[in-house]
Amino acid sequence: MSSLRPFHLAFPVTDLALATAFYGDLLGCEKGRESEQWIDWNFFGHQVVTHLVAQMPAAPAFNSVDNHAVPVPHFGVVLTLEDWQVLADNLIAHKVEFVIEPYTRFKGEVGEQSTLFLLDPFGNALEFKAFADLSSLFAK
């Protein structure tokens, strides 16, 4: 397998200043190139782009995973357990409203992971997760 390469994801927002407050100030993502219509972000080593739109598309649907209603679609990143805990603590300190509060799913099973879900100010769903054993990321 080749070395891991950053992914690129572009998604809609209705206010670039609010996107800056969320992705830049709250999540700590470094701002890259920008225009009046979009902003590139360093999203934990990956490139995400907030594109200005007049109106957001439909809200996410939900699918049951480990007895929780997971928003679909969603995107996110796999962090180390230490970085995940720092992020979770920061979000809690900022009184962020979670879709799914930080917890460990599949406890004691293959694929055990710490996870949390939240919506950005525009309704885009994000998941942040971490594995004690990263080799179980794709385990069956």
Domain map (residue ranges) of the chain: 8-52, 61-136
> What pLDDT shows up at residue 127?
98
* pLDDT tens-digit readout, 88-132: 999 999 999 999 999 999 888 888 899 999 999 999 999 999 998
Instruction: Look at residues 103, 105, 100 and name the one whose alpha carbon lies nearest to residue 117.
Output: 100
Strand 75-79 relative to strand 46-52, pairing: unpaired
Please report which confidence band the pLDDT of residue 2 belongs to, taking 50, 70 and 90 as the band edges.
low
Per-residue pLDDT at 43 exceeds 70:
yes
> What pLDDT shows up at residue 140?
80
Radius of gyration of the chain (CA): 15
Tell me which of 1.10.10, 1.20.1440, 3.30.720, 3.30.1360 is the CATH number of domain 8-52: 3.30.720
Which whole-number Å values give the CA distances from 13 to 77, 78, 96, 111, 124, in the listed order? 19, 23, 18, 32, 8
How is domain 61-136 classified at the architecture level of CATH? Roll (3.10)
> In which order are the strands placed within the sheet that holds 8-13?
8-13, 46-52, 38-43, 30-34
